[in-house]
Chain A
Amino acid sequence: MRPLMVLLTCGMMAIACEGSGQSSPDLVHKMAPQFVRADLNGRRVGLKQYRGKVVLLNFWATWCASCQVELPRFNAWQKNYGADGLQVLTISMDDGDAPVRRTVRRLRLDVPVIMGDARLGEAYGGVLGLPVTFLIGRDGVVVAKLKGETDLESLETRMKELLKR
């Protein structure tokens, strides 16, 4: 039975590790690049207006499978931690807004959704693979950049620590 258990454990580990978020040093400890864009509802959203809050900035796309897993969690965090000073901002890197609107409806997202572009991607060090998530402190400094599907438990822990500051 032991070889079978080893096989099962290896299989489970392989699945758990696949696509796990990688921390990247780009922009970390630097001021987050400013931007002002209209969200899907036409409301102007600028990073500056959230100074004093902890910002979770997530780049995603409708064709990114990992993004679809993360977005509902981020949306829930906004509800749970918004009163503590969290602001979730999401930036879609889709080429057009029609599929984005459908996904927003399907996932029932309440957080601001902004249509990204190459310029915004380049400002954030090049968004050349999704998802990418930035955790930005109350002072506007980037605390973490996470590439790929994030370990949501550790990100939540880290975010909660920032909210206490």
Chain B
Amino acid sequence: MRRLSKCIVFLLFMGLASAGQAQFSNPASAPLSASTVPQDQLIQAAELVKLLRASGADRPVVFQVGSFVMFQQAHIPNSGFAGPTSQPSGLILLKKLAAPLKKDQPIVIYCGCCPWGRCPNIGPAYKQLRDLGFTNVKALYLANNFGDDWVGKGYPVERGE
């Protein structure tokens, strides 16, 4: 009986905690969390830098799926602006830019507007590309934001449009 009550207390706590987080994360609407991207579909910054130096089929097409104001300040060289995918306009843009690509084309999406678990753009972008049939989509894992986890670490950037 004591074990059962412990379980109930624990489950109650976890339920309250996740409800609190959900409320915290979804102020206006409820975009898919970046946490919905499977772990094995994440790519780390150092790994992406290596891939960007590659040529041919290994080199991924990279899309920034966050805001344009952030893209203008700094973005990964040769990445295309395709956001913000938390909004319908961003999803339309991503769909348009991805349309000419082969379904097995390596694609990397990134945002870095917010801490990973709070990013409203990565989840919808990943889902959209998968729903469109793209089979080789990875999401760049940026734990805190693009400034700290990419620019601040000295990885290559371009500015402007």
Contacts and interface: CB of A to CB of B under 8 A. Distances in A.
Interface stretch (A28-36, A76-84, A115-123, A151-159): A115-123
A103 B30 CA distance: 15
B13 A11 contact: yes
Given A4-B9, A148-B144, A128 B28 contact: no
B25 interface: yes
Contact of A18 (B67, B117, B145): B117
Interface string B5-30: 01001100110010011001111100
B106 interface: no
A116 B68 CA distance: 11
Nearest to A131: B114
Interface in A8-49: 8, 11-12, 15, 18-19, 22
B113 A61 contact: yes
Nearest to B33: A65
A61 B67 contact: yes
Nearest to A107: B27
A63 B147 contact: no
B114 A129 contact: yes
Interface string B40-74: 00000000000000000000000000011110111
Contacts of A1: 6
B151 interface: yes
A118 B157 CA distance: 15
Contact of A66 (B70, B74, B118): B118
Contacts of B28: 62, 68, 102-103, 106
Interface of B: 6, 9-10, 13-14, 17, 20-21, 24-28, 31, 67-70, 72-74, 84, 86-87, 112-115, 117-118, 120-121, 144-148, 151, 159
28 contacts: A4-B6, A7-B10, A8-B10, A11-B17, A15-B17, A15-B20, A22-B144, A61-B67, A61-B113, A62-B28, A63-B86, A63-B120, A64-B118, A65-B27, A65-B120, A95-B67, A95-B84, A106-B28, A116-B69, A118-B69, A126-B147, A127-B147, A128-B74, A129-B113, A129-B144, A129-B146, A130-B145, A147-B145
Given A63-B87, A126-B73, A129-B114, 13 more contacts: A4-B6, A4-B9, A8-B10, A11-B14, A63-B86, A64-B118, A65-B114, A95-B69, A117-B72, A118-B69, A122-B73, A128-B145, A129-B148
Interface of A: 1, 4, 7-8, 11-12, 15, 18-19, 22, 61-66, 68-69, 93-95, 99, 102-103, 106, 116-118, 121-122, 126-130, 147-148
